[in-house]
Homo-oligomer: A and B are copies of this chain.
Amino acid sequence: MGIAERKIRQKEEFRASILEAAWLQVLTDGWQSLSIRKIADAIEYSIPVIYNHFENKEAILLEFTKEGFQKLADALLEVKNNYTEPSAQLEAMAHAYWDFAFEHKEYYQLMFGLGIPACEMVNQIAEMKHMTGIMITTIQEAIASSKDTETNYFLKYHTYLSILHGLVSIEMIQKVGKPDPEKKLILQDAISGFIKSLTIN
């Protein structure tokens, strides 16, 4: 019975082509411009077929949100493995986070801008939990090898992520499309302060 398998495969390909067309649209004109109709146009099908593969537009966005968090998690893990000292890992991960945000601006804006509007949804995105898990683990390792091993790791993780997201989003708001390398000084400044307070205290 290869027919059923072929159908599943075709369905998967169809789904992928929808996402591909959507992503192309996003890359050329941004999230705000993405519409079901444009996707339907691009794949040369009528509008309702898209609803056979995705419950609604939000489901399509959710797919990209997951993809984004997965990519970010991968990027963090990769640089983390280049270091053994937790503090060095945190610093490298901070730079990787920054680089990801500006190299994949579209992903980042969806992940932390348009997406995640509802409250319960946050914990439903496994990919996000995965990413934050990497951060939390590293924070815990840093605390474990510090003088005060009783430091609240969750508080520190929250601080770490907040600093990173704050730096990125303020930079994204102020200047669009400027890959100002000098701005990494700000990242370096903020993150080294954080790491100091984590390792010294």
Instruction: List the interface of chain A (C-beta within 8 A of B).
Output: 112-113, 116, 118-119, 122, 152, 155-156, 158-159, 161-167, 169-171, 173-177, 185-186, 189-190, 193-194, 196-197
- Which of A155, A165, A176, A193 counts the most chain B CB atoms within 10 A? A193
Contacts of A116 in B (CB 8 A): 173
Check B158–A162 contact: CB distance below 8 A: no
Copies assembled: 2
Check A159–B186 contact: CB distance below 8 A: yes
Q: Other than the known A119-B175, A162-B186, A193-B194, what 20 A-B pairs have Cβ atoms closer than 8 Å?
A: A119-B177, A152-B185, A155-B185, A155-B186, A155-B189, A158-B167, A158-B170, A159-B189, A159-B190, A161-B166, A161-B170, A162-B163, A162-B169, A162-B170, A162-B171, A163-B166, A165-B169, A190-B194, A193-B193, A193-B197
